[in-house]
Chain A
Amino acid sequence: MILIRCPYCDEQRPEVEFVYAGEAHISRPQNPNLLSDDEWAEYLFIRKNARGVHYERWVHAHGCARYFNAARNTVTDKILMTYKTGEPKPSVEEIAEAAK
């Protein structure tokens, strides 16, 4: 079980309090009418599935019930940093700094 810091509650809590909500930073298309089939497939189905640093969403279901983002290493499962929804995607350097 992994430990996750909720950026809203500012507490590190066990994984069972949270629900995973898929890859982060996938934004809904601005002009859905103009999208080609390939672009729809990309938006709906294609995922990075990164081996290494993965940006993902979690929801603190048994806590504040809010969605937030996390950067996690998918080889070790360790959460490297968490940040609030709407905050910019941190760079690899920022993640390394936060994980220290």
Chain B
Amino acid sequence: MRYSALSLFANALSGHKKWPEQWPDAAPKPSYDVVIVGAGGHGLGAAYYLAKKYGVTNVAVIEKAWLGGGNTGRNTTIIRSNYLYDESARLYDHAVDLWDGLSQELNYNVMFSKRGVLMLAHNVHDVQSFQRHIHANRLNGVDNQWLTAQQAKAYCPPLDISPTARFPVLGGALQKRAGVARHDSVAWGYARAAAALGVDIIQNCAVTGIRRGADGSVEGVDTERGFIAAKKIGVSAAGNSSVIMEMAGLKFPLESYPLQALVSEPIKPVFPCVVMSNSVHAYISQSDKGELVIGAGTDQYVSYSQRGALHIIEHTLAAICEIFPIFKRMRMLRSWGGVVDVTPDRSCILGKTPVPGLYVNCGWGTGGFKATPGAADLLAYTIAKDEPHAINAPFTLERFTRGRLIDEAAAAAVAH
């Protein structure tokens, strides 16, 4: 069923009791052309693009828990592409290009809101670093501009720019094309569109092994619900990527860390954009429900626990209260954690693996949500063509052997 004003009106007449289910919960078939491991935005999107752009419809997306319940449902929904290096600028800007028409393409409102992302500079080093970013971005055709402290205040009125502030604001880098989207809708929209094209979405079905034939290539996956044969396997398992890759005998340059976020009680619209402060480990926006959505830095140790320590978010909130004194008396409603897989150079790994038929999309670290449509599209291309697209060719696993790292670690700092 196509969603439209007309379908909304028709269903209103029947009291919204006759909406059909958005996608069926499929049972696994014995074999598929392609199996995608992980039903987050990246995995579901890859299945969608495989079916839509490359005509590969005999696809299953298998998920150990529920769809979109990992990092897709746990992030702070920030979308931006103002990365320093040429390779990253192309990669993330490709994603933003796809975000632009996504609601129309999926016939599902992902609520992409280009409200602008403002990154605050608190000291001379920040100013110099952001100016460099802005110039690099403009050479790459990525929008990014410098705001003085007064211009930043005009763009985001709750900001405290007084010279005596604990974290003085010397200015900021603003990407106007950046913004936020509704994270759950992204997973649901891709799931519905992929299922409509014949993709099976199989939840509560953890992968327990990857079977390989005599020639080393993949034969399929062992799961909690039996063996599923597959000619090709795409792994998009975020924090658990190391675990899945080990099933195929591969060791990866990844470490998984908890990353926390929290939301406040809902209030009336007061915060018009996204503000990030890399120096003080905090980023903040206001959701359409009215909650302030606040993100912190990662916890310090490797963990798969999907929760973090209180002192991390305490530090973040202390910074938020200094930069936005009007929020000092706000109460926080919920906090949670996700497990993010971090590479040594803070850039993703997206491409083929040494195992024939096994493809990987991992290492997005703390910033995977913004890349969702781009990563999905490029993973689908890589699987369909058995070679990486020009955009993700620099992001393959070989860079750690060849030494050609894309070092966004300092460039992206901690906050995404």
Using a CB–CB distance below 8 Å, which chain A residues touch chain B? 1-2, 15-16, 19-20, 23, 37-38, 40-42, 44-51, 54, 56, 72, 74-77
Contacts and interface: CB of A to CB of B under 8 A. Distances in A.
A45 B402 CA distance: 12
A47 B254 contact: yes
A41 B343 CA distance: 13
B402 A37 contact: yes
Most chain-A Cβ atoms within 10 A of its Cβ — which of B243, B252, B256, B304? B304
Given A37-B402, A74-B256, 13 more contacts: A23-B255, A41-B400, A47-B255, A48-B242, A49-B256, A49-B341, A50-B302, A51-B242, A74-B304, A75-B303, A75-B305, A76-B305, A77-B305
A95 to B, nearest CB: 16
Interface residues of B, number: 25
A77 B256 contact: no
Interface in B241-270: 242-243, 251-256
B401 A47 contact: no
Interface in B32-82: none
Contacts of A19: 300
Task: Describe B's contact surface by its main secondary structure.
Answer: loop
Nearest to B253: A45
A56 B301 contact: yes
Interface in B290-312: 300-305, 307, 309-311
24 contacts: A1-B309, A1-B310, A1-B311, A16-B311, A19-B300, A23-B302, A37-B401, A37-B402, A38-B401, A40-B401, A41-B400, A45-B344, A46-B251, A46-B252, A47-B254, A48-B251, A49-B252, A49-B302, A50-B302, A51-B240, A51-B304, A72-B301, A75-B304, A77-B307
A24 to B, nearest CB: 11
A9 B74 CA distance: 38
Contacts of A15: 309, 311
A-B complex: 3 closest residue pairs judged by Cβ atoms: A45-B253, A49-B242, A20-B300
B253 A41 contact: yes
A51 B303 CA distance: 8
Given A45-B253, A46-B251, A74 B309 contact: no
